[in-house]
Amino acid sequence: MTSPQNLKEALSIQPLLRLLADFANSRILDAAIEYDFFTLIHQGFHTHEEIAREAGTDPRATRIVLDGLIALALVEKRAGRYFVTPASETFLVRGKPDYIGDFRYVAMSLWDGMAHLRETLKTGKPFSRLDTGNELQVWEKLVIGIIPIVRPAAEAFCEIFEVGKVRTGLRVLDVAGGSSIFGHTILRFDPSAEVTQLDWPNVNAVAQKFWGERGSGGKIRYIDGEFRTTAVAENYYDLVIASNFCRFESPQGNRDLFLKAFRALRTGGFILINDFLPNEERTGPTFALRFSVYVLTHTPSGECYTLSQYSRWLEEAGFDAVQAHGDLADTLAGTTLILAQKK
């Protein structure tokens, strides 16, 4: 039997209140990033008056929001002076290698759709969409903001696939490659690889600018377009990548993608899918289950798919030897690399 104490803890109202308040927490963090509070503290401005002066914000409002960041464990205060925490120092100071502040743009876009979840439940249709070219401005921000999230998966793939060791000189097609982090990671492991990225023109331009500013531009060939309508070479590539993309497609859209990838690959080539996968019963991981709701509110037919679904679609396209690699270090729960071969 459940003890009175355990029952009391199980029925605590606090977790439910925190869930209902998540939107407020997101807005607090979004505002702090908008005015570069973390960067200013890192630069040596430690009182709320100094931070407000540099940010151009109201001093009283600045103090209240900074104190709110303490509640989120993103800022510390000692003797009236504010300091960033290790997590904020790593991820929220602009200019740092792992800065993810730009992810807030897609987070706010997700909230727009989630605000209309009740309507989506009635109609099955999203209020707003992230799967068409009309959302280019959101994707321009998103692809750079999620680099620290995608990089560990890209590095794990290179280790698993033995890029630069057993496999060298790969011809790679990265479909909807976004920031090009997969392509540049492969080139870091094997400079002799040949990488082509297919994505919307504005997204490709963002990726080229980003890597050009870091002195590694020009290493990837960019094709403007999308997989449905853009012609790609057939029987040419050794590897086709679909990273953080398939969940936005319908089942038929993924079938079409995998068939096109199969035709683009040489015999013996591989397709790589990187995405968030729930288990077969859809009882976890919790991140994948939640993210599937986000996808519901922003695409007409997408969701986070299971391994058995991917396996079936890949086999229908002609692929064999489907294998999955999960539990990858430093990745979000449910992140899975799926590899299948054209034999």
pLDDT tens, 66-78? 999 999 999 999 9
**Averaged pLDDT score across all residues of the chain:** 91
pLDDT tens, 257-271? 999 999 999 999 999
Please report, for residues 50, 104, 277, 336, 341, the alpha-carbon distance to residue 305 in angstroms, rounded to integers and kept in the order given.
48, 25, 6, 11, 20
- Identify the structural domains of the chain with CATH numbers, from first to last: 4-99 (1.10.10.10), 118-341 (3.40.50.150)
Calculate what percentage of the chain has a pLDDT beyond 70. Answer: 92
How far apart (Å, rounded) are the C-alpha atoms in residues 119 and 302? Answer: 17
pLDDT tens, 278-322? 999 999 999 999 999 999 998 999 999 999 999 999 999 999 999
What's the confidence (pLDDT) of residue 6? 60
What's the confidence (pLDDT) of residue 26? 87
Candidates 153, 105, 114; CA nearest to 23 is 114
Rounded to two decimals, the pTM is 0.86
Average pLDDT over residues 20-44: 91
How far apart (Å, rounded) are the C-alpha atoms in residues 21 and 150? Answer: 28
Q: Indicate the angle between helix axes 22-34 and 103-114, nearest 10 degrees.
A: 150
Whether the CB-CB separation of 74 and 92 falls below 8 Å is answered with yes
What's the confidence (pLDDT) of residue 102? 81
Instruction: Grade residue 23 by pLDDT with cuts at 50, 70 and 90.
Output: confident
Residue owning tokens 């919307």: 200
What's the confidence (pLDDT) of residue 111? 76
